[in-house]
Amino acid sequence: MREFMDYIQSAFYAATGWNRDNSYSTLNATADALLNFPTPRGLRLTLSSLATPKFATSYQLSTVGIVDGSISYLYSTVPLGHAIAQSAKIPLPDLLKSYRPLSELPDRDGGARLGGELLKYGLAYGRLYLPLSMLEALVVRRISPALQLQMSAVSNQTLKNGGTVLGMVQYDMGRYEVEGLASSDGGLLGMRALYNFGGDVGHVNTSGQLAAANGNGAGNGERERIYGRFSTGAELYYGTLNKSGGMSLGARFATLPTHNGTPLTATMTINPLMGNISWSYAVMAGSHCSLATRMDFNVYSYESDWAVGMELWRKKGAWSISSEPDEQMSAPTMPAPETRSQEQTEPGSRESPVPPDAAETSPSPRAADQPKKERSFEAKMEWRLDDPNVDSEILLGGDEGDEYSGVLKARLGQHLRVGLLWEGRVKSLLFSLGSDIDLRRLDSPFRTLGLEVQFSS
């Protein structure tokens, strides 16, 4: 389950217009969320609060053999009052959903006129672990619409030199993004870069053209194509103290939210020095089900590994991968034949009788005047028509958080290690119950078992 502080940090980036997905470090974010989700260990209780629009706190208490916990504080120079902080009202997909479609690339030309206002964009976060007395800190500062500085540090007496500091410079122009980083751990220096092409990239700095391009293809073969964005990038790092380095290359194709078909994400990463090649594929098989698979291979040792994962959402009421088509696809209710005939032949009726065929085939003037609406994304995923009395925007709107009661996540690896996680909400409490199972040791298969409970206000 996403922690409350990470949820607030996402609200900060959304408020300042920074796209966290446009980075080489998040190239495999979707597949990792479906295949590498953590399972809780022991019992953990978290109490959080957005005390003011700019200040948040979180207190955590856990027990895994010993009792420990942490205290967290976050301050933002940007008001975050738009973020829903109450655990009883937070939309569950915002916290628990693993498959997240790519967000729109930022228009840096339009944001350049903000000028000095961006100098006020900043975030400070600190977390103290007890009784280990370990301290984590994070500072984020926006210098310009496309330039952001980030510094994180960890202080602990068990670490070499008592801690480590990592500094990062991020330059995001939408079409491409470059990062430079330096760490005190081993004198590490590195650089990452990501370049996007295809899909909506050509319309990043052209206001209004993207919406027009998405709407002009109705009725032709253009709408049947897979509409997505290609991304390719690389990272290079070198340790100045231990005289060692490394590199990796990666590519990703992901459909955009405006794509009419099945959302999917495919990635490939290569580490030429170590000889590792990894492929991953994630797809939303239905509006309530996501699947992912990954294959790793080493060209030097010929070792391989694979993993599959699944995410199944539960709607309020019963398990469902798709809505009931009988009710959804039924036409607007018409009077019964007997009732209609009585109404048409009733003495004193002011209207003349209408033949049944004409009543069923002739559209009403009101319906003829209205433009034909495109079926919503959720209706297409569920193989049904939209409810004529409900606007498609409502189906994708704020009621989505109340539509679900929980989600089941599962994964299976080559070594028969199974991960199960059930997350949801009970009243005002968010819970996460999970276990890691080793099927090769049936005498004691449960390797981990835990329950995590969160409450925020």
- Would you state the pLDDT for residue 230? 94
Site of tokens 């193989």? 383
Is the peptide bond between 131 and the residue preceding it cis, with omega within 30 degrees of 0?
Answer: yes
Whether residue 265 is contained in a domain is answered as yes
Q: Which domain holds residue 269?
A: 4-203+226-325+392-456
- Would you state the pLDDT for residue 398? 40
Number of structural domains found in the chain = 1
C-alpha atoms less than 13 angstroms from C-alpha of 226 in its C-beta half-sphere? 11
Q: Phi and psi at residue 456, in whole multiples of 5°?
A: -140, 155
- Would you state the pLDDT for residue 322? 38
Amino acid identity at 3: E
In Å, how far from its chain's centre is CA 414?
A: 26
- Would you state the pLDDT for residue 25? 93
Alpha-carbon distance 31 to 281, whole Å?
7
- Would you state the pLDDT for residue 265? 95
Alpha-carbon distance 174 to 204, whole Å?
7
CATH number, domain of 98, equals: 2.40.160.10
- Would you state the pLDDT for residue 330? 39
Query: CB-based contacts of 316: which residues, under 8 Å, 6+ apart?
Result: 402, 403, 404, 405
Whether residue 379 is contained in a domain is answered as no
Alpha-carbon distance 201 to 105, whole Å?
7
Whether residue 341 is contained in a domain is answered as no
Whether residue 343 is contained in a domain is answered as no
Give me 174's structure tokens.
Answer: 């939408």
- Would you state the pLDDT for residue 268? 97
Amino acid identity at 84: I
Alpha-carbon distance 455 to 58, whole Å?
10
Site of tokens 């470090």? 25
Whether residue 177 is contained in a domain is answered as yes
pTM of the predicted structure, to 2 decimals = 0.76
Cα torsion angle, 395, 17, 254, 373, sign: positive
Give me 218's structure tokens.
Answer: 């109705």
- Would you state the pLDDT for residue 288? 87
Whether residue 356 is contained in a domain is answered as no
- Would you state the pLDDT for residue 443? 85
Count Cβ atoms within 10 A of the Cβ of residue 273 and give its class: 0-12 exposed, 13-18 middle, 19 or more buried: exposed
Alpha-carbon distance 350 to 352, whole Å?
7
Whether residue 287 is contained in a domain is answered as yes
Closest to 253 (Cα-Cα) out of 201, 209, 309, 214: 201
| Helix runs in 196-345, H state only | 209-215, 325-329, 337-345
Would you say 306 and 414 are in contact if contact means Cβ atoms under 8 Å apart?
yes
pLDDT digit of tens for each residue in the chain (457 aa)? Answer: 788 999 999 999 989 889 888 999 999 999 999 999 999 999 999 999 999 999 999 999 998 878 889 999 999 999 998 888 999 999 888 888 899 888 888 766 544 444 455 567 899 999 999 888 899 999 999 988 899 999 999 998 888 888 999 999 999 998 999 999 999 988 899 999 999 998 878 666 544 444 434 444 444 444 456 788 999 999 999 999 888 889 999 999 999 888 888 899 999 999 999 999 999 999 998 888 999 999 999 999 988 999 999 999 988 764 444 334 444 433 444 444 444 444 444 444 444 444 444 444 444 444 444 444 455 555 555 555 555 444 433 333 344 446 788 999 999 999 999 999 999 999 899 999 999 999 988 888 888 899 999 999 9
Whether residue 376 is contained in a domain is answered as no
